[in-house]
Amino acid sequence: MAAIKATTPLPRLPIGMCCVTQLAFGVFVTLPFTTFVYMVQDFYPTASDASLSRRTGLLASLSNLSMFVSSIPWGLVTDKRGRRPVLNIGNWSAAVTVLLLGFAPNYGFACACRVVGGLLNGTLGAMKAVIADVTDDTNAPLAFSALSVAWGVGAVLGPALGGLLSRPCREGGLLFGATSCSPGSTLSRMPYILPCLFCSLLCGLAGCLSLRLPETIRRPGQPPIDAPPRCVDDAEDVPLLQPQSTSELELQSSSATPDVLPPLEQPTLPPPPVRWFRDRQCVLCLLGYALCAFIFIQMDELLPLFAAAEEGLSMSPRSLSAPLAFGGAVVFAFTLFCYPPMVRRVGLRASTRGGYLVTSLSTLIVPVAALATGGLRNAILYIAIAFRSVAAVTVFTSSMLMVNKSAPAGQLGEVNGMGQCLAALVRGLGPAIAGLEWGASVKSSTQGAHFLPFLSISLMALIGIVLYGEVDFSKEQQGRMEAVGE
């Protein structure tokens, strides 16, 4: 087999569409963090804090729980009907439902928007399948790294714009004057239309790009996307029946007899691929991806709680924004300049396990900041966030690559659908679990109880190291080659 080129150029349209889709999806998922609390308060102005908390948590989790239900069916559709229709339906349904959310007159309508938007959204699985279709081992790390950057930007934009653009007539701001907030105006009657409109426009942009996307799924005998045209003078394109002269035909008829004809060789066909749920490597990689999503969604919930609490850092939201922005800069720089060469040098499995080790250590550094004061406290927090950002990029990107690498032939969309299903489930449960753990640690009178939620996350990261230690694609590839007699 010919050696793969050192660097294969990335096709612009598929990768650009996937990055815009990932960015829009990041905003779609994280927008509720700073919007739904106020929305539910407006729907139920006289409700108790406990009731508001339950309703807000339900509204925020409905989209992920709906995707948990629909991700596997969408994955099957991705393999049977193609990537393009699933991306079109997911992007445009998200654009419509999030815009309708801004017009929601009551709590029930808002819940319906989130449920429908989640049920019709199979974009994450289809998007990862597209990248696997159009990349190879030389450029896949760079492509999936770009997805990590897009998600990081979306995860920052969602909460920031939700807080900045919600309730403009009550909160004020430079963009909105008295004429925009007069009684009966659109912004007065629909105080959450602006953040929802912004998210809808992003999803619509992703939808426009997905309409232009050529189908990337590789059918049997079909060349991959962007394959160069085949030349008609290639040896394999010569017709099987060539016109022959009369003398050649007479010579063949006189010399060939049934007794001397060579027997026909029957081609050796490879065995059909096993189903993904019977493939040990695939199952392990899916569990690793779900564990990754579970760990970091808990950290996303736990870090602001720890920073704001008196038992933690007693920081205001504005003072926390600087270290979080620093973490975003680290994500961007590490993803673009460090992650791809690291994978080429040490390998995918070693990178994944190393990322989990850094996750475990950086998680324990965060509560140490509460033991220090002044500049030392800030330095510890910045160090912890920097290492956490590096770990997040490494583990998330490597986990996605491992899932695609482990998918059996013809089941890439279904496997990514299962990955999205598991991620949606843990993203619905993770924030609630982290909140319960932090609440229990705050109520405890035990010295150092605030370490316990971080310790539980650190131990889960160690499980990831053990889990990926069981993944070995070289043995599986050797077994497949022996099965087909190579």
Backbone angles phi, psi at 174, to 5 degrees: -75, -20
At 231 the pLDDT is 40
Do 274-481 and 9-217 fall under one CATH topology? yes
SS3 of the chain: the string is CCCCCCCCCCCHHHHHHHHHHHHHHHHHHHCHHHHHHHHHHHHCCCCCHHHHHHHHHHHHHHHHHHHHHHHHHHHHHHHHHCHHHHHHHHHHHHHHHHHHHHCCCCHHHHHHHHHHHHHCCCHHHHHHHHHHHHCCCCCHHHHHHHHHHHHHHHHHHHHHHHHHHCCHHHHCCCCCCCCCCCCCCHHHHCCCHHHHHHHHHHHHHHHHHHHHCCCCCCCCCCCCCCCCCCCCCCHHHCCCCCCCCHHHHHHHHHHCCCCCCCCCCCCCCCCCCCCHHHCHHHHHHHHHHHHHHHHHHHHHHHHHHHHHCCCCCCCCHHHHHHHHHHHHHHHHHHHHHCHHHHHHHHCHHHHHHHHHHHHHHHHHHHHHHHHCCHHHHHHHHHHHHHHHHHHHHHHHHHHHHHHHHHCCCCCHHHHHHHHHHHHHHHHHHHHHHHHHHHHHHHHCCCCCHHHHHHHHHHHHHHHHHHHHHCCCHHHHHHHHHHHCCC
Is CATH 2.40.50.140 the classification given to domain 9-217?
Answer: no
- The fold adopted by the segment(s) 274-481 is Growth Hormone; Chain: A; (1.20.1250)
At 3 the pLDDT is 41
> How far, in whole angstroms, is CA 256 from its chain's centroid?
63
Q: pLDDT means per 10 residues in the chain (486 residues)? A: 54 88 87 79 82 78 86 89 92 94 92 92 88 84 82 78 78 52 74 90 93 79 46 42 48 49 52 79 92 88 77 70 78 85 88 94 90 87 90 90 86 87 85 79 78 91 93 58 38
Residue 210 to residue 206: CA distance in whole angstroms: 6
Q: Where are the domains of the chain?
A: 9-217, 274-481
Q: For residue 120, which amino acid is it? A: L
